[in-house]
Amino acid sequence: MMSTLRRKSRSYDMQVLVQEIKSTTDTNRYSTLFIELIAALRPGRNQPAAAPLEALLALLAQDRQLVPALQQMFVYLFNTRDSQSIFTNVGILSSGTFFSEMFRQLRHRILPPLPEKRSMNYLLERAFYKKRDYKWVREIPDELWIRFFQIAAGGLEKADTPFRQYLVNTLTILSYRVSYLGLEDELSQALKSETEVITPFIEQNRKLLAFTHLVKSGTGSEAYLQSSAQDVIDQLNACEEIIGNIRAQTGKHGTSLGQSYLLLRTAQQLKRMFIIVRFLTPGALPEHTLRNSVVLFEDVIESINKRYSISDLYRKNADMLAYQIAEHKSASGEHYITTTRSEYTGFFYSAAAGGVIIAFAALVKALLHKVHMPMFWQYFFYGFNYAIAFVALFLTGASLATKQPTMTASALAGSLDTRKGGVSFQGLALTFGKVWRSQFASFAGNLVVVFPLAYLLSVGWEFLTGTPLLHDKQEALQSLRDQNPLTSLAWLYAGITGICLFSSGIITGYVDNKVIYGNLGIRIKEHQGLRRLFKGSTLNGVSDFVIHNLGGIMGNVALGFMLGYAKLVGEFFGIPFDIRHITISTAYFAFGVDGLENHLSAYDWIWTTIGVIGIGFFNFLISFSLAFYVAVRSRGVALSRLPLAGKLIWKYLVKFPQDFIYPPKGERKESDVFGS
């Protein structure tokens, strides 16, 4: 009943508004009427987004007096209000860098800039003042907006109007900006091997100036005007092709946030120029002109609603960089996925070697605990010890179970890569089976060595020195209780460790990308000081080592210090913040068993074991989930489509459960699991 009354009230408001638009002779009222019109078009709760606009279109079809009145209002508003800023600035990144734009938006969120109250931009901000207005605007079918624009904007196509002059001025401004951006190092150096690569950015300006001269003079024929417009569009297409080529080659050349920002800004300006050129030549493709106008309108409203959104700025600019980071992690992740039985066996032994390194790292950590140092240096050496261990794992090819997820998640998401021939959810399901069994082999290889070796190291230390590795039985018992989910926050700390593992993977991918983008290998080979210091073959070896290993080394060093300093952060801020890593926790489980001289209660055996298994689960879950989310989003796959992948993985598990533990004799095909 209430919803019916609300709909009737909205309908009544539309009727009253329509009558006022028809009857008013005061042009000063047009701004208020426009705001009220948008309020009437804004759908109510539980109302279809298109319903109010459909009602208005029905009134326009019935009332012949309403059409010229509405057109007069729109013509007056667009001709008397400065609309140039809408076309040149709204929805287009400002000049500068990503960080300068971010800080500008932060400043304006705190203290908004002084509005230009006579501008069309200010009127739109007042009309579409709700932060989610852009959503219902986009939900309305384009065909309805086109019908509305055909009627409301019918009087804007006349020549010699201020609005047309605004469009011409906008085109000129955007053209010069695009010419300048085409000469930026971030663009020109990306394709520096192409001798003619900059020409379209310069040539479009020359063609556009000729076009705008025809528009302003009004002396040329319609065919001549359309031919000139097509010349401009051809050059704009060439500019877009260059941008596409740069983006396509970022896998080879790498990318940066600065380049991503510049490419996005240039693409936005080119898109805006396309729309305005079409608008100034409506006779060529009238339907295309209207559809472009709708696209521009929707983009402008969304930009107005998100004009101070830091997250939106980051999302738009970070996509390409995130893709490259995910790609480099994906390339690394392929080494952590086993297909054949020989690869599986080799990976198990690699994990066992990793268990040896971690057992000794845990021993050093326990010994460092015996040394009384200032707090900062105590935790520094904890981190330094972890960093050495993780770098040793990386350089020797030994594997650590929890380092896998951040790498394999990116490789797994590669099955969904829209840039590599489309989305394959069946391929993802098969890859997931490989990832799962590889993860199982890695955990098994680590743990089957860590526990007994750590126990023997603890026994050996006491045998050689006469003192226990852990101070006393109380500390030994505490080392067990620290892994027990009933007596500690072990699983929460395991989740924090998962975030650290994910972060280290991001750092690895980022540095690998920067090595390629910055041509670091070639710069090392050409460095005059290094060339005097090393022989040619040695310097080439150093260069190759940096190219292939710098990202992994930096990521592992970062992980070591993140884990080493975590507890200090918790103590400094007085919050529950620490780390639990399955292999290190397993080693301390063994230290505790020896410290208690094997006299453990059933409670401690059972719950410490459960705790360690849970720590491994949360290490894996958090790091894998975060990495997979970033990898999937960077590849342009909607998260809403992932449940289909889950169903296919379940189907694979039910049909061939053994594949998730041990590889089949031959590689499993999609047809074997899902049929032809």
Q: Which letter does DSSP use for residue 119 in this model?
A: B
- 60 and 101 in a single domain? The answer is no
Say yes or no to pLDDT of 638 above 70: no
**pLDDT band at residue 226 using 50, 70 and 90 as cut-offs:** confident
Q: How confident is the model at residue 79, as a pLDDT?
A: 86
Q: How confident is the model at residue 127, as a pLDDT?
A: 92
- Euclidean distance between CA atoms 440 and 597, whole angstroms: 31
- The answer to whether residue 669 is domain-embedded is no
- The answer to whether residue 407 is domain-embedded is yes
- 464 and 505 in a single domain? The answer is yes
For 374-409, write each residue's pLDDT tens digit: 999 999 999 999 999 999 998 998 888 776 655 566
CA atoms within 13 A on the CB side of 513: 25
In degrees and rounded to multiples of 5, residue 181 shows phi and psi of -65, -30
- 272 and 228 in a single domain? The answer is yes
- Tell me how crowded residue 601 is: count the other CB atoms within 10 A of its CB: 11
Extract the tokens encoding 556.
Answer: 């592992």
Encode burial over 492-506: b for 16+ CB neighbours within 10 A, e otherwise: ebbbbbbebbbbbbb
Which of 11-20, 38-47, 511-520 reaches the highest mean pLDDT? 38-47
Q: How confident is the model at residue 24, as a pLDDT?
A: 87
Say yes or no to pLDDT of 48 above 80: yes
In degrees and rounded to multiples of 5, residue 42 shows phi and psi of -70, 120
CB 247 within 8 A of CB 320: yes
Extract the tokens encoding 574.
Answer: 């007085």
Cα separations (Å) of 540 from 395, 396, 525, 526, 528? 18, 21, 6, 10, 13
Extract the tokens encoding 514.
Answer: 């920067």
Q: How confident is the model at residue 244, as a pLDDT?
A: 83
Average pLDDT over residues 187-195: 56
Q: How confident is the model at residue 224, as a pLDDT?
A: 84
Q: Which letter does DSSP use for residue 215 in this model?
A: H
- CATH number of the domain bearing residue 476: 1.20.1080.10
Say yes or no to pLDDT of 481 above 60: yes
Extract the tokens encoding 300.
Answer: 């402008």
Say yes or no to pLDDT of 276 above 90: no
CB 620 within 8 A of CB 405: yes
- Euclidean distance between CA atoms 316 and 264, whole angstroms: 8
CB 580 within 8 A of CB 493: yes
- 343 and 289 in a single domain? The answer is no
- 422 and 273 in a single domain? The answer is no
Q: How confident is the model at residue 167, as a pLDDT?
A: 86
Strand extents, DSSP E, 533-650: none
Say yes or no to pLDDT of 509 above 80: no
Q: Which letter does DSSP use for residue 662 in this model?
A: S
**pLDDT band at residue 160 using 50, 70 and 90 as cut-offs:** low
- 592 and 630 in a single domain? The answer is yes
Say yes or no to pLDDT of 612 above 90: yes
**pLDDT band at residue 256 using 50, 70 and 90 as cut-offs:** low
CB 57 within 8 A of CB 144: yes
Q: What whole-number percentage of the chain has pLDDT above 70?
A: 83
- Euclidean distance between CA atoms 604 and 383, whole angstroms: 29
CA angle 507/510/516 to nearest 5° reads 140
**pLDDT band at residue 500 using 50, 70 and 90 as cut-offs:** very high
Task: State the residue range of the domain holding 166.
Answer: 82-121+158-308
CB 9 within 8 A of CB 39: no
- The answer to whether residue 271 is domain-embedded is yes
Residue with tokens 């080799």: 346
**pLDDT band at residue 356 using 50, 70 and 90 as cut-offs:** very high
- 108 and 143 in a single domain? The answer is no
- 181 and 299 in a single domain? The answer is yes
Give which of 156, 73, 674 is closest to 429, Cα–Cα.
674
Residue 594: strand, helix, or coil: helix
**pLDDT band at residue 508 using 50, 70 and 90 as cut-offs:** confident
Say yes or no to pLDDT of 285 above 70: no
Average pLDDT over residues 89-97: 76
In degrees and rounded to multiples of 5, residue 82 shows phi and psi of -70, 110
User: Rounded to an integer, what is the distance from CA 475 to the centroid of its chain?
Assistant: 44
Q: How confident is the model at residue 207, as a pLDDT?
A: 92
**pLDDT band at residue 425 using 50, 70 and 90 as cut-offs:** confident
- The answer to whether residue 516 is domain-embedded is no
Cα separations (Å) of 438 from 163, 342, 398? 64, 12, 14
**pLDDT band at residue 11 using 50, 70 and 90 as cut-offs:** very low
pTM assigned to the model = 0.69
End-to-end Cα, the chain, rounded Å = 54
Average pLDDT over residues 513-519: 77
Average pLDDT over residues 448-455: 95
CB 207 within 8 A of CB 231: yes
- Euclidean distance between CA atoms 467 and 17, whole angstroms: 90
- Euclidean distance between CA atoms 386 and 557, whole angstroms: 8
In degrees and rounded to multiples of 5, residue 81 shows phi and psi of -105, 140
CB 595 within 8 A of CB 458: yes
User: Rounded to an integer, what is the distance from CA 50 to the centroid of its chain?
Assistant: 32
Q: Which letter does DSSP use for residue 518 in this model?
A: T
Q: How confident is the model at residue 673, as a pLDDT?
A: 83
Say yes or no to pLDDT of 466 above 70: yes
Extract the tokens encoding 115.
Answer: 């509005």
**pLDDT band at residue 606 using 50, 70 and 90 as cut-offs:** very high
Average pLDDT, the chain: 83
Q: How confident is the model at residue 413, as a pLDDT?
A: 61
Average pLDDT over residues 195-224: 80
- 295 and 359 in a single domain? The answer is no
Say yes or no to pLDDT of 138 above 80: yes
- 241 and 188 in a single domain? The answer is yes
**pLDDT band at residue 414 using 50, 70 and 90 as cut-offs:** low
Residue 82: strand, helix, or coil: strand
Structure-model confidence comparison of residues 194 and 435, the more confident one: 435
For 53-74, write each residue's pLDDT tens digit: 999 999 888 888 888 899 899 8
Extract the tokens encoding 532.
Answer: 């005097």
CB 278 within 8 A of CB 285: yes
Average pLDDT over residues 128-150: 91
Q: How confident is the model at residue 209, as a pLDDT?
A: 92
Structure-model confidence comparison of residues 650 and 518, the more confident one: 650
- The answer to whether residue 575 is domain-embedded is yes
- The answer to whether residue 525 is domain-embedded is no
- What is the 3 state secondary structure string of 386-429? HHHHHHHHHHHCCCCHHHHHHHHHHHHHHHHCCCCCCCCHHHHH
- The answer to whether residue 551 is domain-embedded is no
Give which of 254, 507, 547 is closest to 390, Cα–Cα.
507
**pLDDT band at residue 86 using 50, 70 and 90 as cut-offs:** confident
Residue 207: strand, helix, or coil: helix
CB 83 within 8 A of CB 166: yes
Extract the tokens encoding 189.
Answer: 């150096």
Cα separations (Å) of 505 from 351, 592, 617, 626, 640? 18, 31, 18, 10, 25
- Euclidean distance between CA atoms 42 and 50, whole angstroms: 9
Say yes or no to pLDDT of 552 above 90: no
SS3 content of the chain, % helix, strand, coil (to 5): 80, 0, 20
**pLDDT band at residue 263 using 50, 70 and 90 as cut-offs:** confident
User: Rounded to an integer, what is the distance from CA 185 to the centroid of its chain?
Assistant: 24
Say yes or no to pLDDT of 300 above 80: yes
Instruction: Using the Cα atoms of residue 87, residue 89, residue 95 and residue 96 in order, give the sign of their dihedral.
Output: negative
Total number of domains in the chain: 3
Q: How confident is the model at residue 502, as a pLDDT?
A: 85
Structure-model confidence comparison of residues 23 and 629, the more confident one: 23
- Euclidean distance between CA atoms 265 and 239, whole angstroms: 13
User: Rounded to an integer, what is the distance from CA 166 to the centroid of its chain?
Assistant: 36
Residues in a beta bridge with 119: 82
Structure-model confidence comparison of residues 502 and 253, the more confident one: 502
Say yes or no to pLDDT of 1 above 50: no
- 348 and 380 in a single domain? The answer is yes
- Euclidean distance between CA atoms 530 and 521, whole angstroms: 12
- 19 and 149 in a single domain? The answer is yes
- Euclidean distance between CA atoms 346 and 402, whole angstroms: 18
CA angle 82/87/91 to nearest 5° reads 125
Which of 292-296, 357-361, 618-622 reaches the highest mean pLDDT? 357-361
Average pLDDT over residues 619-638: 76
Residue 81: strand, helix, or coil: coil
- The answer to whether residue 26 is domain-embedded is yes
Q: Which of 254-263, 272-281, 290-299 has the lowest mean pLDDT?
A: 254-263
Say yes or no to pLDDT of 532 above 50: yes
